[in-house]
Amino acid sequence: MSENYGSKLGKPITRRVFNRASLASVAALVALRSAPSWAAGETITYYGFGGLTQKAMNEAGLAPFSAATGIEVVEGTFGDETEVITRIKSGGTGDLNVFANSGFEMYKRYVDLQANSELNEANIPNLKFVSPVLLGKLRELTPNGVLSGVPYNYGTTGIAYNTKHISREEAQKLGFKLLWDQRFAGKLAISNNAMERIWAAAVFTGQNPNDLSDTDTVFSALREQRPLVKKYWESGAEVMDLLAKEEVIVADIWSTRATALKKQGYPIEYLEPEQCLAWMQNLFVLKGSPMEPCEKLLDYLLKPEVNFDYCQRTNNGSSLDPNQVPFPEQLKSQAGYDPSGTFAGFSIPDGSYWAENLDRFETQWRRIAKGA
């Protein structure tokens, strides 16, 4: 669930919807040819979310990997990750091998489509640095616990508020109720992401977001919220712009974007209400890929210095275990950092539950967002 956050209020780019390039479009690929290929005619094709996150992955990981190993990496970007699902269902993904996968629920969908590979963990020794909690979540979603990808970074979807209008004490007291507070009518920005909307409404109505007991109440709460909303935002840059210009004073937002706003000096604080959603990004390897080169790439990207470089460039949390490797001070100070490495204070989506229900939930949310 990564995103573009390097520039100050730059071109809008969403966490899941980026440059709308087709997976089949050869023109969208950018080859890295700084060294001869690992084997005759062998390449790895990597797709990411575009924007500055792609630039960060290239500079921190992919280009140095090619230079160090001689394995050629071909880069591209996709639009909504459902493009990958669609192409798998239609019979193929072209030459795609490794890609940024947003969330355990999407990981489970690839497994359900039998598009998952089987990683040889002996070829990924740096896997030992990865959070055992996050690895365990992935193992629960794959047959016999065999990994098809590795957790790489994470963040949370919490609430940004303008400190000139709302105190820290009030924000902490209200939590998710801030997003339904009548005082902020017309000054509220809300993500147009179905999962984030339903998750927040579930917590607001006192339900377990990983096992909804009353979906009618959830959707009723979203209808109740709709008149208060100035904008359902589509990108991290868009919500940053709204907050920076004080067109809104409350917004749900990704921790990465809130961190960027605070660094830029805006009067913004970030609240992680109880049960706020913690999202993960994995690096997934599709079945049929050249496994040894892909495993070598994953191992390189999991080097602490490489992973930390990427996360510091993008304000992401690192998937590595702070009990195994010391973290840089910048990452320790970012929103969502858990020094225990247990993620005990996080609410992580149940991959199986959301993979099974997300399409149905999203259909209903889209109707509400349009005013139905």
The pLDDT confidence band at residue 1, using thresholds 50, 70 and 90, is very low
Average pLDDT score over the chain: 87
The pLDDT confidence band at residue 30, using thresholds 50, 70 and 90, is very low
Instruction: List 251's β-bridge partners, or say none.
Output: 160, 189
Higher-confidence residue of 9 and 166: namely 166
Confidence at residue 345, expressed as pLDDT on a 0 to 100 scale:
78
Helix (H, G, I), strand (E, B) or coil at 65: helix
Q: What is the mean pLDDT of residues 135-153?
A: 94
Confidence at residue 33, expressed as pLDDT on a 0 to 100 scale:
30
- From 2, 299, 359, select the one nearest 147 (Cα to Cα): 299
Confidence at residue 343, expressed as pLDDT on a 0 to 100 scale:
85
The pLDDT confidence band at residue 276, using thresholds 50, 70 and 90, is very high
What letters, b where the CB count within 10 A reaches 16 and e where it falls short, cover 348-367? bbbbbbbbebbeebbebbee
pLDDT tens profile 323-348: 999 999 999 988 778 889 888 878 99
Q: What is the mean pLDDT of residues 263-270?
A: 94
Higher-confidence residue of 258 and 334: namely 258
Assess whether pLDDT exceeds 60 at residue 316: yes
pLDDT tens profile 37-77: 344 447 899 998 888 889 999 999 999 999 999 999 999 88
The pLDDT confidence band at residue 88, using thresholds 50, 70 and 90, is confident
* Range list of H helices, the chain: 51-57, 63-69, 82-89, 104-112, 132-139, 168-174, 194-204, 215-225, 236-244, 255-263, 291-301, 304-314, 329-333, 351-369
pLDDT tens profile 34-48: 333 344 447 899 998
pLDDT tens profile 154-210: 999 999 999 999 999 999 999 999 999 999 999 999 999 999 999 999 999 999 999
Domains in the chain: ranges and CATH: 26-154+281-337 (3.40.190.10), 155-277+352-369 (3.40.190.10)
Assess whether pLDDT exceeds 80 at residue 32: no
> Residue 185's CB: how many other CB atoms inside 10 A?
11
Confidence at residue 83, expressed as pLDDT on a 0 to 100 scale:
77
Please say whether the beta carbons of 273 and 335 come within 8 A: no
Please give the single-letter amino acid code of residue 284: F
